[in-house]
A and B are shown apart, each in its own frame.
Chain A
Amino acid sequence: GQQVMQIPQYQHVQEGEDFTTYCNSSTTLSNIQWYKQRPGGHPVFLIQLVKSGEVKKQKRLTFQFGEAKKNSSLHITATQTTDVGTYFCAWPNMEYGNKLVFGAGTILRVKS
């Protein structure tokens, strides 16, 4: 069956350092979304990637979708304390009628 791993599970960085989280799938994905959840909050949509090799930027955030559409990453340049939270990738899962399912998430903590 389809398996998607999100790594790392947890990362603690110094403010100003960069941060990257990855989602790696065993099968080709039709698209992938990224969400951010602040501590105690709810997931908030960040972006959707659809095309092979797609790269999108939102200020200090860079999102990539691999050429084979099996991998995706979210990179934050020069982290700030406002970046703290859990970052999730999400994708249509064929085992559940293409419903949106989520990765385990990467928890980001930033030391100031």
Chain B
Amino acid sequence: NAGVTQTPKFQVLKTGQSMTLQCAQDMNHEYMSWYRQDPGMGLRLIHYSVGAGITDQGEVPNGYNVSRSTTEDFPLRLLSAAPSQTSVYFCASSYSSPTLTEAFFGQGTRLTVV
């Protein structure tokens, strides 16, 4: 099992550019989440999905879009990148609600917006 796979691992964007961070899991997990990690701030929840076709906002959703057309994939879209979105992004999945069971994390995408 590959677990949770994120691509790319590193990305540099110019302000105003758009891009999609990819996340795929092969564990047939219903629950998937996106977090961003900034120094001294822990991981902050961006968006969340409880299954295909269902998404919800987290703590810091502004500037990001998500969709969940399949159980396996949960891409995160940056519509118009800003320097404040420079961060490390983690995708996570869990068999049931991550508040009840272990969350599995991908390796992360380190994004720099210049």
Contact = CB atoms under 8 A, between A and B. Distances in A.
Contact of A105 (B42, B48, B90, B104): B42
Nearest to A92: B99
B58 interface: yes
Interface string B35-49: 100001111110010
B42 A104 contact: yes
B99 A88 contact: no
Given A31-B100, A45-B103, A96 B45 contact: yes
Contacts of A99: 33, 45, 48, 56, 58, 98-99
Contact of B108 (A42, A48, A90): A42
A66 interface: no
A33 B98 CA distance: 10
B102 A45 contact: yes
A88 B92 CA distance: 15
B106 A42 contact: yes
Contacts, number: 65
A96 to B, nearest CB: 6
Contacts of A9: 40
B97 A96 contact: no
B90 A101 contact: no
Nearest to A45: B102
Nearest to A44: B105
Interface in B68-114: 90, 92, 97-108
A93 B45 CA distance: 11
Interface of B: 33, 35, 40-45, 48, 56-59, 90, 92, 97-108
30 contacts: A9-B40, A31-B100, A33-B102, A33-B103, A41-B107, A43-B43, A43-B92, A45-B102, A45-B103, A45-B104, A48-B102, A88-B42, A88-B43, A93-B59, A96-B45, A98-B97, A99-B33, A99-B45, A99-B98, A100-B45, A100-B99, A100-B103, A101-B43, A102-B35, A102-B42, A102-B43, A102-B44, A103-B42, A104-B40, A104-B42
Given A44-B105, A45-B102, A104-B40, 6 more contacts: A33-B102, A42-B106, A42-B107, A97-B56, A100-B98, A102-B43
